[in-house]
Amino acid sequence: MVSYEPLWLTMEKKGITTYALIEKYKVQSKTVYNLKHNKNISTATLEMLCDILDCTPNEILAFKKVSSTLQPPSPHSWGN
């Protein structure tokens, strides 16, 4: 699962608000909604945020492992 928790910390550190993202930097409000709810964003949006905040993707998102009971299929079940 992707978490944008690092984004909010980076924004706070750099003094940039969500209002500024929308009004000054013209980030769509839907994109801010997606970020707040840990939904998918495009790589273009990620690049734009990196440019705005002068940071790397690691300062915007983090991957959190989600436990899963799913197992990869065994090679024997693939068929020929």
pLDDT digits (tens, 9 = 90+) for 23-74: 999 999 999 999 999 999 999 999 999 999 999 999 999 998 877 666 666 6
3-state SS class at 63? strand
Question: Residue 36 CA to chain centroid, in angstroms?
Answer: 9
Give residue for tokens 């300062």.
59
Domain ranges in the chain are 2-63
The CATH-assigned architecture of domain 2-63 is: Orthogonal Bundle (1.10)
Residue 68 class from Cβ within 10 Å (0-12 exposed, 13-18 middle, 19+ buried)?
Answer: exposed
User: What is the number of alpha carbons within 13 Å of residue 32 lying toward its C-beta?
Assistant: 14
Q: Which residues pair with 3 in a beta bridge?
A: 62
pLDDT digits (tens, 9 = 90+) for 47-56: 999 999 999 9
